[in-house]
Homo-oligomer: A and B are copies of this chain.
Amino acid sequence: MKTKENHKTVIIDWKPNKNLDKPIYLQIVEYICNKISNGHWLIGSYLPSQRELSKLFDVNRSTIVSAMDELVSLGIIESSFGGGTKIISNTWSLLISKENLDWNKYVKSGLFKSNNSTIQTIIKLEFEDYIRLGTGELSPGLFPHHMMNKIFNKLSTKAYSLNYTEPLGLIDLRIAISNRLKKLGINANPSSILITSGSLQALQLISISMIKKGSTVFTEDPSYLKSLEIFQSAGINLSGIPMDNEGIKYWDINNSLKTIDRNLYNCLLYTIPSFQNPTGTTMTTKRRKDLFEFCKKHQLPVIEDCAYSELWIDEAPPLPLKSMDVNGMVLYVGTISKTLAPGLRIGWIIGPESIIERLGDVKMQLDYGASSLSQLVLTEFFESGLYDEHLTYLRKELKIRRDNAINSLNEYFKDLGTWNIPSGGFYIWLTLKNNISIDKLFKESLKEHILLNIGSIYSFKANHSLRISYAYEDCLTFRNAICKLSKIIRNIS
């Protein structure tokens, strides 16, 4: 039928199938998108009124409203007051909408899952004016601008190229990293080092090019890894293994291992042994040795994430697992994002040369290497000794901040929760009493301009915890925010 309006309208000769699993409003959106992408409905033509659509499709008015909202947000139609609903199209949106109209479903079925909505909210609010009590970044005030100026000066007098670098990354940077690793008992020559665009990309490269769909990655529960969609997006299962205060209770992996047909599926372990994210726990030397033997015995390859290991406050952590590794069982992942500047986007993977070469080939296809400028600057930081000087300064600063954080918690949270005292890194894992709704706390805190990283982002189980970071806000702001947070909790308890 045609509507009575003046402008050209479309013909509708179809009704949604109420017996399908697919929501009716999505069937309608899909129908409309198909009509447009088939060219049956032209751009510039008009849809009947919502009242008429409701009759034509034989559905409630509210279903029509949902469908129209979706189409507007995809940029496919445009409503004008009194003027009807015009098809304006957006061919790229049609690509999405034909595939799967619900974006969340779409990205789940595609290669990349959408970030979970709490994480999306946090990422967005981080760039607004909130007190960031749990963020995974150093305070920008701790960045050594004076050192950076020295490096700019030095670069001004040097011959350098900002062309593409070698496939594995700038050779001078790889040499500098190789030298630093020696102090950690790791012998890695430059051809066993791949420079990545941050350590997140390192994990991405491993997940997409090494690990089979259906494989299982074991990791500490809670773990930073749970907050990422990297492995899940590649169809890999994450399995959380409990921790005690010496680190991951690796013997719990045994039970899970027995249920997996290892002829069909791969298993591996992801661990952050030092100043773990989000619990702040550091694995003891004994646990490291036992874990390593366990992994060797069970042929369980290891991804060792050492993002925080240089940030010790009280004493240097035990040597990395990689230092015990002679058989290429461990892929070691490092970065300067937590010690110097995440914005440089530099990380690295250490592993057997054959593996590094393959990961490097995939990286070339992804982005043709990390920023040469970032690599040059970091090489200067390492070679000049400025980086170590900065670390010494940073450890003192983090000690002051950690002590202030613990004092603040002692003052305001004694009766509200429990926490650990980390010996390095950024994080305190604060567990609140059970009667508090963490979601409500998150929302109420936002009203007071405090942004929280709630425990459910990191944990495999329901919990009443928060990841608290003392690395971002200054001592006074941190203390005041903790005070305010305690009041919010008392109010909603």
Is A367 in contact with B92, judged by CB distance below 8 angstroms?
no
Interface set, chain A 357-412, CB cutoff 8 A to B? 358, 361-362, 364-374, 377
B-chain residues with CB within 8 Å of residue A300 when the two chains form the complex = 91
**Complex formed: what's the CA distance from A138 to B164 in Å?**
10
Q: Which residue of B lies closest to A107 (CB)?
A: B209
Given contacts A123-B167, A354-B90, A355-B92, contact A345 B327 (CB under 8 A): no
Is B204 in contact with A367, judged by CB distance below 8 angstroms?
yes
Q: Shortest CB–CB separation between residue A257 and chain B, in angstroms?
A: 11
B-chain residues with CB within 8 Å of residue A127 when the two chains form the complex = 166-167
B-chain residues with CB within 8 Å of residue A96 when the two chains form the complex = 210, 355, 358
The reply on A88 being an interface residue by CB < 8 A is yes
B-chain residues with CB within 8 Å of residue A162 when the two chains form the complex = 140, 143, 148, 340-344
Interface set, chain A 118-175, CB cutoff 8 A to B? 120, 123-124, 126-127, 137-138, 140, 143, 148-149, 152-153, 155-156, 161-167
Q: Shortest CB–CB separation between residue A224 and chain B, in angstroms?
A: 13
The reply on A297 being an interface residue by CB < 8 A is yes
**Complex formed: what's the CA distance from A113 to B96 in Å?**
24
The reply on A352 being an interface residue by CB < 8 A is yes
B-chain residues with CB within 8 Å of residue A95 when the two chains form the complex = 210-212, 266, 268, 301
**Complex formed: what's the CA distance from A91 to B148 in Å?**
40
Q: Shortest CB–CB separation between residue A102 and chain B, in angstroms?
A: 13
Contact pick for A89, options B34, B37, B329, B354, CB 8 Å:
B329
Q: Which residue of B lies closest to A88 (CB)?
A: B327
**Complex formed: what's the CA distance from A127 to B163 in Å?**
11
The reply on A181 being an interface residue by CB < 8 A is no
Work out how many copies of this chain go into the complex.
2
**Complex formed: what's the CA distance from A371 to B376 in Å?**
12
Given contacts A110-B209, A341-B162, contact A365 B229 (CB under 8 A): yes
Is A92 in contact with B163, judged by CB distance below 8 angstroms?
no
B-chain residues with CB within 8 Å of residue A297 when the two chains form the complex = 39
Of A194-202, A245-253, A446-454, the one touching chain B = A194-202
Interface set, chain A 259-312, CB cutoff 8 A to B? 262-263, 266, 268, 296-301
The reply on A75 being an interface residue by CB < 8 A is yes
Is B155 in contact with A365, judged by CB distance below 8 angstroms?
no
The reply on A328 being an interface residue by CB < 8 A is yes
The reply on A431 being an interface residue by CB < 8 A is no
**Complex formed: what's the CA distance from A153 to B153 in Å?**
8
Contact pick for A328, options B38, B90, B200, B371, CB 8 Å:
B90
The reply on A36 being an interface residue by CB < 8 A is yes
B-chain residues with CB within 8 Å of residue A243 when the two chains form the complex = none
Is B90 in contact with A327, judged by CB distance below 8 angstroms?
yes
Given contacts A137-B164, A140-B161, A327-B43, contact A299 B91 (CB under 8 A): yes
Is A38 in contact with B262, judged by CB distance below 8 angstroms?
yes
The reply on A436 being an interface residue by CB < 8 A is no
- Mind listing 9 A-B residue pairs with CB under 8 Å? A91-B301, A92-B355, A112-B366, A161-B343, A162-B342, A164-B343, A197-B345, A345-B369, A373-B374
Contacts A38-B263, A198-B367 supplied; 9 other A-B pairs, CB < 8 Å: A75-B352, A90-B328, A93-B328, A111-B111, A115-B365, A149-B156, A162-B343, A162-B344, A345-B370
